[in-house]
């Protein structure tokens, strides 16, 4: 399986303009010029109130292996675009950037620097594509998965989307992101092998069809897996044959061996109606502990609506609409230059656009989150210049960066820096926690958000403010470039 070989070098997984610009930087003598880039996103998918940061661990793995092979150099030489001195630079390049990133599982909001890179322009520019690819994809799937998990209201959600994912790695890392965001497990076996995510699954309709009768299919499965028996009951007719045959097998094969049936699964039809009927029949048959699993093109809205209608569902299997984030399949993270160093001084840089959303926030910055000491809930985020400190022993005024008359003085709060340093001078200085810890951290951090922020429709806008000093600098630069 060479396409999943962990030894594959992904250095060349980049946009070609990273290389043409790098060659130009080199020929201009800029190869040692120190710059700062921010990754941020402009809009939460699905009109949600927040997104989840994901992909930091894979980003670290990529950076650790960043090197140009002799085959890479020969490929570039064959393009007849790059000077030999530049190719020699690439062949001998040692990554020496500093990188800060928001830890995986952290709720994040538009405009926030979730990854910051400082280093020589060629290197800092070159990693753009892989940073965006890694963080955009996993953050998208985690954000969608968490919406679905919250819609299930405490019922387990299983990620069932492997066969509909957009490629091998999307299936694997999508399963990882979904698990961190709250899913109970995955149908993707290799994700279990790689990350110890619980692999889940029982049978397909083909198992039932292969036998002469539905009863024989169920009986054979129950014989092989008496302690883990979940039967798929919608191959022919859920209420007339599927569930009656399942109950018969439970009584004749499962119970006599001292076990209890785990569940029945319904993959088609009117889920609300069928699960109500199934619950009544199971209870009357003496199996109130038998779980009902629902699948079939579910998403957060269908799950929410079926539960509001009284559906009797204990677990959900969610596939294509989770693993592809079908409703909004793009996480719009971007990577923008925000500062350069000159004679030891950090010079802020800004990109201006008639589209307000595309105007960047200049400078080398820090991201803070303010938490109420009373409730533990997040109050707001504040972006400051890197050397500013928010003193949470004193009242602190926050304000809307666009509607500046909206101001609030915060007291009795704790201020925490959100991003952590993951590389220093090209060396990894951060160890990713075990996946179980990342998952627990993610769910605990989502709980710090008010319900008004986490609701699906018209969520409350969580404020991401700028410090007064940073706001002043941005306004000054906007004014300067508007002349």
User: Which pLDDT does position 356 carry in this prediction?
Assistant: 87
- What DSSP line would sit under 335-371, residue for residue? EEEEEEEETTEEEE-----SSGGGPPPPSSEEEEEEE
Q: What is the CATH architecture assignment of 2-141+329-482? A: Alpha-Beta Barrel (3.20)
For residue 446, pLDDT over 50 is answered with yes
Q: Which secondary-structure segment (H or E) carries 333?
A: strand 333-342
User: Which pLDDT does position 27 carry in this prediction?
Assistant: 97
User: Which pLDDT does position 103 carry in this prediction?
Assistant: 98
- Beta-bridge mates of residue 365: 385
User: Which pLDDT does position 482 carry in this prediction?
Assistant: 76
**Domain-by-domain residue ranges, the chain?**
2-141+329-482, 149-323
pLDDT digits (tens, 9 = 90+) for 9-28: 899 999 999 999 999 999 99
Q: Please tell me the distance from the alpha carbon of residue 239 to that of residue 237, in angstroms, as a whole number.
A: 6
- Residues in CB range of 231: below 8 A, 6 or more apart: 202, 203, 218, 221, 222, 242, 246, 249, 261, 263, 264, 265
The CATH number of 149-323, from 1.10.150.170, 3.40.50.720, 3.20.20.70, 3.40.50.970, is 3.20.20.70
Q: At what angle do helices 168-180 and 435-446 cross, to 10 degrees?
A: 60
Determine the average pLDDT of the residues in 43-63. 97
Determine the average pLDDT of the residues in 66-74. 96
pTM: 0.96
User: Which pLDDT does position 5 carry in this prediction?
Assistant: 56
For residue 1, pLDDT over 50 is answered with no
- What DSSP line would sit under 16-84, residue for residue? HHHHHHHHHHHHTT-TT-EEEEEEEESS-GGG-S-EE---HHHHHHHHHT----HHHHHHHHTTT-S-H
Determine the average pLDDT of the residues in 260-277. 97
- Beta-bridge mates of residue 466: 383
Are 290 and 278 in contact by the 8 Å Cβ rule? The answer is no
Q: Is the dihedral of CA 26, 32, 38, 39 positive or negative?
A: positive
pLDDT digits (tens, 9 = 90+) for 411-420: 999 999 999 9
* b/e map 210-228, b = 16+ CB within 10 Å: eeeebbebbbebbeeebee
pLDDT digits (tens, 9 = 90+) for 312-340: 999 999 999 999 999 999 999 999 999 99
């Amino acid at each position: 399986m060479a396409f999943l070989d962990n030894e594959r070098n992904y250095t060349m997984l980049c946009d070609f303009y990273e290389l043409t610009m790098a060659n130009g930087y080199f020929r201009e003598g800029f190869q040692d010029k120190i710059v700062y880039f921010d990754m941020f996103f402009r809009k939460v998918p699905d009109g949600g109130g927040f997104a989840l940061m994901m992909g930091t661990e894979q980003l670290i793995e990529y950076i650790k292996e960043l090197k140009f092979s002799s085959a890479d150099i020969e490929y570039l030489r064959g393009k007849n675009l790059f000077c030999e001195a530049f190719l020699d630079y690439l062949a001998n390049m040692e990554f020496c950037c500093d990188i800060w990133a928001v830890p995986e599982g952290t709720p994040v909001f538009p405009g926030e620097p979730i990854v910051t890179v400082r280093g020589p322009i060629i290197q800092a520019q070159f990693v753009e594509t892989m940073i965006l690819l890694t963080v955009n994809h996993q953050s998208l799937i985690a954000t969608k998965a968490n919406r679905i998990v919250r819609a299930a209201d405490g019922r387990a959600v299983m990620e069932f989307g492997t066969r509909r994912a957009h490629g091998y790695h999307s299936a694997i890392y999508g399963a990882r992101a979904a698990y961190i965001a709250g899913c109970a497990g995955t149908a993707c076996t290799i994700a279990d092998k790689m990350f110890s995510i619980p692999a889940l699954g029982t049978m397909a309709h083909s198992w039932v069809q292969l036998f002469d009768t539905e009863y024989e299919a169920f009986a054979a499965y129950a014989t092989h897996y008496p302690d883990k028996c979940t039967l798929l009951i919608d191959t022919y007719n859920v209420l007339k044959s599927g569930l009656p045959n399942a109950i018969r097998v439970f009584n004749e094969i499962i119970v006599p061996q001292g076990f209890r049936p785990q569940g029945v699964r319904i993959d088609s039809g009117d889920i609300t109606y069928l699960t109500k009927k199934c619950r009544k029949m199971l209870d009357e048959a003496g199996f109130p502990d038998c779980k009902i699993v629902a699948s079939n093109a579910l998403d957060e809205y269908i799950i929410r609506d079926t539960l509001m209608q009284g559906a009797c569902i204990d677990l959900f299997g969610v596939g294509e609409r989770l693993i592809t984030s079908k409703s909004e399949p793009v996480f719009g993270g971007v990577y923008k230059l925000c500062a350069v160093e000159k004679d030891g001084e950090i010079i802020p840089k800004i990109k201006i656009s008639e589209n307000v959303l595309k105007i960047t926030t200049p400078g080398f910055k820090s991201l803070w989150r303010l938490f109420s000491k009373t409730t533990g809930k997040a109050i707001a985020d504040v972006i400051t210049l890197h050397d500013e400190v928010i003193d949470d022993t004193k009242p602190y005024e926050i304000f809307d960066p666009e509607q500046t008359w909206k101001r609030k003085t915060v007291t009795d709060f704790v201020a925490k820096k959100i991003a952590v340093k993951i590389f220093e001078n090209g060396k990894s200085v951060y160890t990713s926690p075990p996946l179980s810890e990342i998952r627990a951290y993610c769910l605990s951090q989502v709980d710090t958000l008010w319900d008004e922020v986490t609701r699906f429709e018209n969520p409350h806008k969580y404020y991401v403010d700028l410090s007064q000093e940073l706001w002043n600098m941005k306004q000054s630069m906007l004014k300067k470039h508007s002349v």
